[in-house]
Structure 1
Amino acid sequence: MSVQGRKVVRMGGQRLVRTSCVSPKALYARPMALRQLYTDAGSLIRRGQQEARIAAAAAAAEQPENSR
């Protein structure tokens, strides 16, 4: 009898069974989720930077020029 893809670990009388193989779906889904997360974060950062530039331009336009 062979147990394939499982690791049996004994710790202090307890028996822990861990699966060592990861499903192909999990291997594919995790990087895609991370890619989407980073894409969304990048979009939010760029949008915030654009809003900051617009706000700075508006503030600069409202203040009168210092003439000497």
Structure 2
Amino acid sequence: MVADGVGQGYKEVQEISPNLRYVIDELDQICQRDRTEVDLKRKILDDLRHLESVVTHKISEIEADLEKLTRNK
């Protein structure tokens, strides 16, 4: 709604101001970048947790193999 300039009220406007459209586009781009950064951080953390799990499991396997070697002597 905008003032009609005559002082008799408002008229309905169906289109968005070019400036407002530009601001909305800019905000969408900023929000998309933030989402991408968060997704990348989450992926890196998930990868690190997976790597930690794999390394922990492998260390346990190696320790078990060493234990078998020392028992057989």
Taking structure 2 as the reference length, the TM-score comes to: 0.60
Aligned residues: 53
Q: Say which structure is richer in helix.
A: 2
* Partner Cα distance (1:20, 1:61) in 2: 60
* Partner Cα distance (2:49, 2:15) in 1: 52
2:69 corresponds to which residue? none
* Partner Cα distance (1:60, 1:22) in 2: 54
Q: Percent identity?
A: 9
Moved over 6 A (4+): none
2:61 corresponds to which residue? 65
Q: Say which structure is richer in strand.
A: 1
Is residue 2:41 matched to residue 1:41?
no
Kindly name which structure, 1 or 2, has the bigger radius of gyration based on alpha carbons: 2
Q: Which runs of 5+ in 1 are unaligned?
A: 1-5, 7-15
Q: Which runs of 5+ in 2 are unaligned?
A: 5-9, 66-73
CA RMSD of aligned residues (A): 2.3
